[in-house]
């Protein structure tokens, strides 16, 4: 099992590394040339700055049983399609039961934004310690489940 992080502007990289190291699971951080990262624990893969270059690279190297950390529903859907586990930086698990509805909501929200001609959207609210703790608990639970499913 490996853990792959869509690491462009990802606020949970250090949490992923800390918990993954506890379980001795390798981590790969993927970012584009606009977000170059360094890590003492993880392998870092830097890809070209194309629109979805990181997403496609991540999906091309993840396999069944791996864990993918991404806020992108499309990446999560492709990871699930390969038999990987997927988790949002909020700690919400992407599953085969919820991904279709999430993709549809994303589509409808994008369509509504286009039709209203309002392109300015408020960014996400400031991340709190509670958000980090929620993610850490959910991520560790996913690791334990993934390890059990390997047996």
- What structural domains does the chain harbor? 3-117+127-150 (3.40.50)
* Residue 34: Cβ-neighbour burial (10 angstroms; 0-12, 13-18, 19+): exposed
Predicted local distance difference test score (pLDDT) of residue 8: 86
pLDDT at 49: 76
Tokens at residue 100, please?
A: 């279709």
pLDDT given for residue 125 in this prediction = 77
**According to the model, what pLDDT value does residue 43 have?**
96
The percent of the chain in helix, strand and coil, each rounded to the nearest 5, is 45, 15, 40
pTM for the full predicted model? 0.87
- Distance between CA atoms of 92 and 124, rounded to whole angstroms? 16
Q: What per-residue confidence (pLDDT) applies to 9? A: 83
Task: Kindly report which listed range (5-19, 62-76, 89-103, 115-129) carries the lowest average pLDDT score.
Answer: 115-129
């Amino acid at each position: 099992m490996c853990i792959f992080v869509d690491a462009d502007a990802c606020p949970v990289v250090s949490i992923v590394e800390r918990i993954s190291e506890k379980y001795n699971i390798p981590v790969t951080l993927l970012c584009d040339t606009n977000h170059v990262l360094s890590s003492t624990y993880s392998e870092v893969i830097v890809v070209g700055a194309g629109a979805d270059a990181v997403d496609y690279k991540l999906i091309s190297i993840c396999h069944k049983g791996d864990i993918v950390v991404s806020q992108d529903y499309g990446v999560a859907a492709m990871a699930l399609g390969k038999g990987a586990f997927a988790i949002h930086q909020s700690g919400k698990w992407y599953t085969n039961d919820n991904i279709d509805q999430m993709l549809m909501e994303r589509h409808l929200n994008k369509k509504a934004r286009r039709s209203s001609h309002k392109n300015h959207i408020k960014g996400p609210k400031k991340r709190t310690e509670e958000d980090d703790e929620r993610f850490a608990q959910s991520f560790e639970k996913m690791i334990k489940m993934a390890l059990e499913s390997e047996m």
